[in-house]
A = this chain, B = another copy of it.
Amino acid sequence: MTFHARAVFPRGFHCASRNVGLKPEARDLTLFASDVDAVAAAVFTRNQFPGAPIILGRETLKGGVLRAIIANSKVSNVATGARGVENARRMAAAAAAELGTDAGRVLVSSTGVIGVQLPVEKIETGIRGMKADLQDDPLVGAEGIMTTDTHPKALSASVGNATITWVAKGSGMIEPNMATMLAYIFTDAAFDAATLDRLLRRAVHVSFNMLSVDTDTSTSDTCAIMANGLAGAVDEQAFLEVLTAGCVRMTEVLARDGEGAGHLLRISVREAASEHEARVVAKALVNSPLIKTMVHGADPNVGRILMAIGKCVDVTINTAATNAWVNGYQVVGHGARLEFDDAVVRAALGVEVVDLEVSLGAGTASARAYGCDLTKGYIDENAAYYSS
């Protein structure tokens, strides 16, 4: 499969975004809409203090049908109590009124500062007339949901007669169990709600749930899929393969654009005793500040790889059979650092995409995690996020 050179929407999907005064000038309100009702599924953050839109969204998704998604940036509507949930409902109602549908068929997302009440009146006023702005370029929606992202993120690919389109934002507070990540997937393929939910969870398991920018788990994470059926049925296995490939690719795009990141860091763990243990080790490596700063500095301090594996104290590791490679160049063998040419490893760490592979010699399971290096840019972004 290949992704389209420029992302397009499946049949019947459109989007619009505009500034409604939450931010000084940038687009801060985005609407995604289908011409017809779409079967829907979603995965939300596991954070125990979910934002009001998540609380409402879980209720909305019980219906299994969506007509639209409305998302704002700047204020996340989290830790805002009962008033926050009421404001999320008003936001859904405003979108429904604009589109002529039911508020129960509108998924709401908010992203931005935690703990500040949503200026919902600005959204209610600003959304008026937005239906007329609906257009066919997914990048318009991708731009509208950006926070600290440096570029809008949209992909699309074909599967049989149908199209799948991914629109997402990152880029900090990203760890498993969903990230501060909003990822919307649109398709004109036809599925029932239970199948769509199952396919989404399978794809998310190996993609967005293996993404970590900084170990922090957002209170707002949402990955939703809408399937409006306008292209009819497609082969389920082929759909799952393309769906998964697109989720993985979008995960890489989000990781590469992690706050302050200069490198995409991919960790592959093989020969683990179980998939769970492979995932634990992959996450430990992708989250290790000492691995992340090593990649940032292209500093061949590869002994840190063993440190990060070894700190997984509950994982089965055959230390004498543990090996590691940096972009294909072996640096650890039989659990010890190999003699190698520093310049070669430095060069391998210096490219934009750094693959660290680890084999644990303990079994046959594997996993892959996605992240980025840790730089001063991350600190710049987060030391004054609230105030800036």
Contacts and interface: CB of A to CB of B under 8 A. Distances in A.
Contacts of A385: 293, 299, 301
A228 interface: no
Contacts of A337: 79-80, 114-116
Given A116-B303, A290-B172, A48 B376 contact: no
Contacts of A350: none
A114 B219 contact: no
Contacts of A78: 303, 306-307
Contacts of A84: 336
What is the interface residue range for chain A against chain B?
35 or more
A50 interface: yes
Nearest to A288: B216
Contacts of A87: none
Interface in A69-88: 76, 78-81, 84
- Residue of A78, A296, A317, A319 most packed against chain B (CB within 10 A): A78
A357 interface: no
A132 interface: no
Contacts of A299: 383-387
A216 B290 contact: yes
Contact of A114 (B116, B293, B306, B387): B306
Interface in A371-388: 374-376, 378-379, 382-387
Interface string A114-155: 111000000000000000000000000000000000000000
Given A50-B310, A374-B379, 20 more contacts: A47-B307, A78-B303, A78-B306, A79-B303, A79-B336, A79-B337, A113-B301, A115-B301, A116-B337, A215-B215, A215-B287, A216-B290, A216-B304, A216-B308, A289-B378, A293-B379, A294-B386, A297-B382, A297-B383, A299-B384
19 contacts: A48-B312, A48-B315, A50-B310, A79-B336, A81-B334, A81-B336, A113-B303, A114-B307, A115-B302, A116-B303, A214-B289, A218-B307, A219-B306, A289-B378, A290-B382, A294-B383, A296-B379, A299-B385, A301-B386
